[in-house]
Amino acid sequence: MSDKSTDAYWKANIRIITICMVIWALVSFGFGIVLRPLIAGIPVGGTDLGFWFAQQGSMLTFIALVFYYRWYMNKLDAEFGVEE
C-alpha cells in the first residue's frame, strides 16, 4: 500500500471511529443524563425514555455500533486491499 492510500485508509478509519464515539456519547451522556428532563415524558416499556437510554439504550447502541464498525472496517479493508 502506498503512502497516499495508507493516509486515506487511516483518515477513513479515524473518521468512522470519531462518528461512532460521537453517537455513543450523544446517546449515553446526552440522552441518558443531559437531555433526560426533556424526554422524560415519553413512555417506553413502562418507564420514561430518558431512564431507558441511561439503562439500556446506551448499551444497545454500543453493541450496534460495534457491529456497524466491524462491517464498515471489513468493507474498508477490502476497498484498500488489506483484508485478512
Give the whole-angstrom CA distance, residue 52 versus residue 37.
13
Highest mean pLDDT among 2-11, 14-23, 75-84: 14-23
Tell me the residue length of the chain: 84
| Mean pLDDT across the chain | 90
Grid cell listed for 5: 492510500
**For residues 35-45, average pLDDT:** 87
Q: Indicate the pLDDT class of residue 65, thresholds 50, 70 and 90.
A: very high
| Ramachandran bin of 42, using left for φ above 0, alpha for ψ from -120 to 50, beta for the remaining angles | beta
Grid cell of 22 as nine digits: 460521537
With b for 16 or more beta-carbon neighbours within 10 A and e for fewer, the 12-45 pattern comes to ebeebeeebeebbebbbebbbeeebeebeeeeee
Residue 1 — pLDDT band, cuts 50, 70, 90?
low
